[in-house]
Amino acid sequence: MKRPCLFHAAVLTACILTASLQAADPAPLLANGGFENGDHTWKIANVPDASASVNETAAHSGRFGLTLTNNAARTVARVMSANLPTAPGRVYTLKFQARTHALGTYGGVSLRFLDVHGKNAGDPSLSHAKATGIGGAWQAHTLTATAPEGAATVSVWVHTYSKQKGVVDFDDIELIEGTPAADGIPDPVLATSSTPTAAPAPAPVAITGGKGLPIVIKANALTVRPDGSLPPRWEKFAAYLNDRRLKFSIGVITYSLDTTSQSYFAWAVDTSKENYFAWIKEQHASGLVEFWHHGYNHHQWLQNGSDVFEFKGSGYDHQLEHLKQGQDLAREHLGFVFTTFGAPFNATDSDTVRVLAKDTDIRVWLYGNPADSAGKTILDRDPQVNIEHPIFVPNFEKFAAGYAASSASRRYYVIEGHPAQWNDTQFAEFERIIDFLVAHDARFVTPTELADLLQR
Ligand SMILES: [Ca+2]
């Protein structure tokens, strides 16, 4: 069954950051972004199986906040501000607080740019911030976006994602014109730094810990932009490692290979994915990159009050279908099948073991269950040695400390990261990790190569 579903945008977002900004204080453009005057100035979309309400339990500050509830797979709860006049090149900073009621990310806030005809202007994925779903705790989010060519109006849309049931609270939505950071990309690392005005100068790489270890770079959750193009941050990530002739691996959300599927952004138009396919095929053919199966849609949802993941709790048939769909799409559009699997959220169950056992092309299971390996080579993780700490934030100091502590007892490391989430400062931190590994004579290999090495 093809799923013409709207896409979980876990990795589409270019500029979502949980940062505080050192903003100047330009006038706020939204009159009631804190919902203290109820839904005044907001328009609530009337949609079946979805609801939006201003209520006291959703307050982050003041007395009131906004709750969006998505009760069905094929619906979207949505609340919209008025259209404000804008012009191409104007820069906006949007800040908001959000709280998901359970783990999982199923809503966010978009800046919606329209042209004079009321049609979508520019690429909507560049002006969307997902409400990071950590479950139960408020998170601050910031998005910066530039009014694209043709933009005449801008509005704020607060919404859930289709196919993603769940409840999200929003409050303190603030829109200003202008951006407080020189590069337009506020830095979440700086939010907790004692020197918030500048990134620290990179320290010299110290040689501590084991040398010559095989390293797999496990880069997660590749997908396309709504216009069918490769996200620029993925391009940068791959180009950097290509230039250094270092091998790495990329997990593909295989929905992105589906040319029949509907765009996540209901107002965006799908265009050809041929350039995307060509890029993957070129990288694959170089022998420097292994692409692996990272699920079909990377979904997670609530079912009878419990968290269900694409490959955990979703049932044997569901998992089998999604595994097969991904392989079929790769065969059709890329000309190869995946030999490595890594589950979305690294969440799996006994059904995953059964469906993986049926796929004889897949030989390697990243972060799989060593007690029940489905006949695959399990490449495990060291929780102290990873690219990001916390998730989405590359952290050289943590990496180097963990490496120094454990490398004498390790045969290899599989280090995970999400390049689509890294701004320039965070990318520089990733480069420091690579420099550190190169200084330690690391042998950068693909997952399948590592599996072969381990079996020798
Ligand atoms: Ca409020």
- Domains of the chain plus CATH, in order, are 43-183 (2.60.120.260), 214-455 (3.20.20.370)
d(CA 245, CA 241): 6
pLDDT of residue 76: 84
Tokens representing 423 are 């701004």
C-alpha 139 – ligand 1 centre gap (Å): 14
C-alpha 261 – ligand 1 centre gap (Å): 38
- Find out whether 131 and 65 touch, Cβ atoms under 8 Å: no
C-alpha 450 – ligand 1 centre gap (Å): 52
d(CA 180, CA 288): 39
C-alpha 172 – ligand 1 centre gap (Å): 6
C-alpha 41 – ligand 1 centre gap (Å): 14
Residue located via tokens 């695959």: 376
- Find out whether 273 and 224 touch, Cβ atoms under 8 Å: yes
Is the N-terminal amide bond of 390 cis, ω within 30° of 0? yes
C-alpha 272 – ligand 1 centre gap (Å): 42
C-alpha 441 – ligand 1 centre gap (Å): 53
Which H or E run includes 410?
A: none
C-alpha 76 – ligand 1 centre gap (Å): 22
C-alpha 58 – ligand 1 centre gap (Å): 8
Tokens representing 430 are 């990733």
CA–centroid distance for 237 within its chain = 15
Number of other residues whose CB lies within 10 A of the CB of residue 424: 12
pLDDT of residue 391: 87
C-alpha 371 – ligand 1 centre gap (Å): 48
C-alpha 264 – ligand 1 centre gap (Å): 29
C-alpha 52 – ligand 1 centre gap (Å): 15
pLDDT by residue, tens only, the chain of 456 residues = 433 333 344 333 333 333 333 334 567 789 899 998 888 889 988 788 888 999 988 999 988 999 999 888 777 889 999 889 899 889 999 999 999 888 777 889 999 999 998 888 988 888 888 887 777 788 889 888 999 999 999 999 999 887 778 899 999 999 998 765 443 333 332 222 333 334 444 444 455 678 899 999 999 999 988 778 899 999 999 999 999 999 999 999 999 998 875 444 444 444 588 899 999 999 999 999 999 999 998 888 888 878 899 999 999 999 999 999 999 999 999 999 999 999 999 999 999 999 999 999 999 999 999 899 999 999 999 989 999 998 889 999 999 999 999 998 999 999 999 999 999 999 999 999 999 999 999 999 999 999 999 987
C-alpha 15 – ligand 1 centre gap (Å): 24
C-alpha 168 – ligand 1 centre gap (Å): 14
DSSP symbol at 420 = G
Handedness of CA 416, 419, 422, 426 (dihedral sign): positive
Nearest to 8 by CA among 79, 76, 65, 67: 76
C-alpha 173 – ligand 1 centre gap (Å): 9
pLDDT of residue 270: 47
- Find out whether 109 and 16 touch, Cβ atoms under 8 Å: no
DSSP symbol at 313 = S
User: Could you tell me where the DSSP H helices lie in 336-423?
Assistant: 350-358, 396-406
C-alpha 50 – ligand 1 centre gap (Å): 21
C-alpha 171 – ligand 1 centre gap (Å): 5
C-alpha 92 – ligand 1 centre gap (Å): 21
pLDDT of residue 110: 94
Nearest to 318 by CA among 271, 264, 354, 367: 354
C-alpha 129 – ligand 1 centre gap (Å): 19
pTM of the model: 0.59
C-alpha 62 – ligand 1 centre gap (Å): 4
C-alpha 57 – ligand 1 centre gap (Å): 10
C-alpha 102 – ligand 1 centre gap (Å): 21
CA–centroid distance for 268 within its chain = 19
C-alpha 156 – ligand 1 centre gap (Å): 16
C-alpha 166 – ligand 1 centre gap (Å): 21
C-alpha 141 – ligand 1 centre gap (Å): 15
C-alpha 25 – ligand 1 centre gap (Å): 19
CA atoms within 13 A on the CB side of 382: 25
d(CA 356, CA 448): 16
pLDDT of residue 25: 54
C-alpha 37 – ligand 1 centre gap (Å): 9
C-alpha 120 – ligand 1 centre gap (Å): 30
C-alpha 32 – ligand 1 centre gap (Å): 9
